[in-house]
Amino acid sequence: MKRSRKLFYWLPRILCIVAISFVSLFALDAFSTELSFWQQIGAFLMHMIPSFILLGLLILAWKKEFVGGIIFILIGLGLSPIVFSHNYRMNHSIIMSLGIILIITIPFAVVGILFLISHFRNKKEKA
């Protein structure tokens, strides 16, 4: 029983770190030879704002699994239509747009579900 409790404790945290790291890779687009060094740093930091927000939410979820789980589910499911429509306008492919959602937004919904599972398992074991 203890092993599965550890698994459900660490799995959402590790998956969230991986997902945030993946989203952070998109900030590398900010670097361009046309911009000065400080403009590149400023653009990079602007592109990193979503990652900083997600990192803050992960810190919240680390301490309050239930609240964090709900927030990550809302982020994952709430951003999916926005990301889908944006990508569909760019590439006019439903399959490609669904694939992008599966890679970018759905992992956060899965993380949220795992945080909720961890919360309820810990609550059940304490009772």
C-alpha atoms less than 13 angstroms from C-alpha of 85 in its C-beta half-sphere? 4
Tokens (6 digits) for 114: 């795992």
Q: What is the pLDDT of residue 97?
A: 94
The per-residue pLDDT string of the chain (127 residues; one tens digit each, 9 = 90 and over) reads 578 888 889 999 999 999 999 999 999 988 888 889 999 999 999 999 999 999 999 999 999 999 999 999 999 999 999 999 999 999 999 999 999 999 999 999 999 999 999 999 988 877 6
Cα gap 19→106, rounded to integer Å: 10
Neighbouring residues of 50: CB distance < 8 A, sequence distance ≥ 6: 23
Q: What does pTM read for this prediction? A: 0.89
Q: What is the pLDDT of residue 20?
A: 97
| Cα dihedral: 117, 118, 121, 127 (round 10) | -130
Q: What is the pLDDT of residue 124?
A: 81
Cα gap 54→34, rounded to integer Å: 30
Cα gap 9→120, rounded to integer Å: 11
Longest dimension (CA), the chain: 61
Which residue's entry shows tokens 């439903």?
94
Q: What is the pLDDT of residue 30?
A: 86
Cα gap 64→120, rounded to integer Å: 12
Delimit the domains of the chain by residue range. 2-126
Q: What is the pLDDT of residue 127?
A: 65
